Amino acid sequence: MILAIITALPSAIVAYMMICRLNAKKRRLSDLEGWAFLLLLGGAVYTVYTAVSYGKLPTMGKLFLDFGICLYFGSREIRTSQWRKRRFRHG
């Protein structure tokens, strides 16, 4: 059971990041990026739910997907914060 919860940790991080992305700006129903974030959020929440409720381990593909999402959005956040520091330091 503990192993299932530990392996679901990347999904919990993805869920948190997708909630932050969805709340970052107002979205319309026709916004495909918002729907993509919602689908990623749904998959992450379901993975955490099955790990906590049933002790079911995520598949290797799901783990790779979650790690990839964490790395992608994490690197975007680092680049954005570095850009903001450079931009507003000189202004």
The answer to whether residue 38 scores a pLDDT higher than 90 is yes
Q: Give residue 90's pLDDT.
A: 67
- C-alpha distances (whole Å) from 72 to each of 6, 17, 69, 84 are 21, 11, 5, 18
CA dist., res. 25 & res. 33, Å (int):
11
Kindly give, in sequence order, each residue whose CB lies less than 8 Å from that of residue 7, ignoring residues fewer than 6 positions away. Answer: 51, 57, 58, 63
- Check residues 84 and 1 and name the one with the higher pLDDT: 84
Whether pLDDT at 49 is above 80? yes
Residues 6+ positions from 33 with CB-CB distance below 8 Å:
27
Residues 6-31 have pLDDT tens digits of: 899 999 999 999 998 888 888 888 98
Mean pLDDT, residues 38-45 taken together: 93
